[in-house]
């Protein structure tokens, strides 16, 4: 069995560290006031460039291509320096991953965060050892919701490893899973914008302690 996980909002609540990086970027480059955490949490998704664009728009910064590139570089620098300082691993994640790995599941992460920053976060949180592959937002020429990153994760885990399930929390994850033809297991405590009942998911769970049993039923 192959299990592919989204990262931000699924395995980890990274909003505090992403928010801190955004606010340091705003202060350094534009002397702009910070964005509150509850506001920034709505900016998460589609990768760091999209988060930076939303942050700049919220701050009223007129951004051409040069300004955006400087802002993205600063954001990545600040986030890369502290990707696991305030981030928390969602309840039950470690135990669920350990049990699934012991049961023989092959696991990967598919995120729109750049690959190097994703590995830094996973290593800083002690999760990297669970995963045999990671595809980030800059690994391929496209990112989620395009299905190619998910399919690349599945390929890296091995074509002989059985069926694929994708675990995510957002509309982007839903679209990517459906495009790839993989069942979506929706984690309800993440960064979604629409109601849970509006998702077309093969299964829904609110705590990672429920995930192994859910996968067992579906598999």
Domain boundaries, the chain: 2-13+87-218, 15-81
Q: Is the pLDDT of residue 46 over 90?
A: no
Please say if 13 is a catalytic residue.
no
Asked whether the beta carbons of 168 and 161 are under 8 A apart, the reply is no
Q: Which residues pair with 164 in a beta bridge?
A: 2
Q: Is the pLDDT of residue 84 over 90?
A: yes
DSSP 65: H
Rounded mean pLDDT, 136-147:
96
Continuous H helices in 41-196: 48-59, 65-81, 93-102, 115-124, 148-157, 171-180
Task: Return the number of other C-beta atoms located less than 10 Å from residue 199's C-beta.
Answer: 18
pLDDT of residue 63: 87
For 146-166, write each residue's pLDDT tens digit.
Answer: 999 999 999 999 989 999 999
Q: Which residues pair with 186 in a beta bridge?
A: 168, 204
The CATH architecture to which 2-13+87-218 belongs is: 3-Layer(aba) Sandwich (3.40)
Q: Please give the CATH number for the structural domain made up of 15-81.
A: 1.10.150.240
Asked whether the beta carbons of 1 and 105 are under 8 A apart, the reply is yes
Q: In whole angstroms, give the CA distance from residue 83 to residue 121.
A: 5
Rounded mean pLDDT, 58-63:
92
pLDDT of residue 127: 98
- Residue 47: which pLDDT band, with cuts at 50, 70 and 90? confident
Of 18 and 45, the one with more pLDDT:
18
Mean pLDDT of the chain: 96
- Choose, from 6, 8, 13, 169, the residue flagged as catalytic: 6
Q: In whole angstroms, give the CA distance from residue 183 to residue 173.
A: 11
């Amino acid at each position: 069995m192959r299990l592919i996980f989204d990262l931000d909002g699924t395995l980890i609540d990274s909003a505090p560290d992403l928010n801190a990086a955004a606010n340091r970027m705003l202060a350094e480059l534009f002397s702009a006031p910070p964005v509150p955490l509850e506001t920034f949490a709505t900016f998460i998704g589609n990768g760091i460039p999209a988060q930076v664009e939303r942050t700049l728009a919220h701050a009223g910064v007129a951004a051409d291509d040069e300004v955006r590139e400087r802002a993205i570089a600063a954001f990545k620098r600040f986030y890369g320096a502290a990707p696991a300082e305030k981030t928390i691993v969602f309840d039950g994640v470690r135990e669920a991953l350990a049990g699934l790995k012991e049961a023989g599941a092959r696991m990967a992460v598919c995120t729109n965060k750049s690959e190097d920053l994703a590995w830094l976060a996973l290593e800083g949180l002690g999760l990297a050892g669970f995963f045999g592959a990671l595809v980030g937002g800059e690994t391929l020429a496209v990112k989620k919701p395009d299905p190619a990153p998910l399919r690349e994760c599945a390929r890296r885990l091995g074509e002989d490893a059985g069926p694929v399930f994708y675990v995510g929390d957002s509309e982007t994850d839903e679209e990517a899973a459906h495009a790839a033809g993989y069942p979506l297991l929706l984690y309800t405590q993440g960064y979604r914008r629409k109601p849970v009942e509006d998702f077309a998911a093969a299964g829904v769970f609110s705590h990672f302690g429920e995930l192994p049993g859910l996968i067992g039923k579906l598999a």
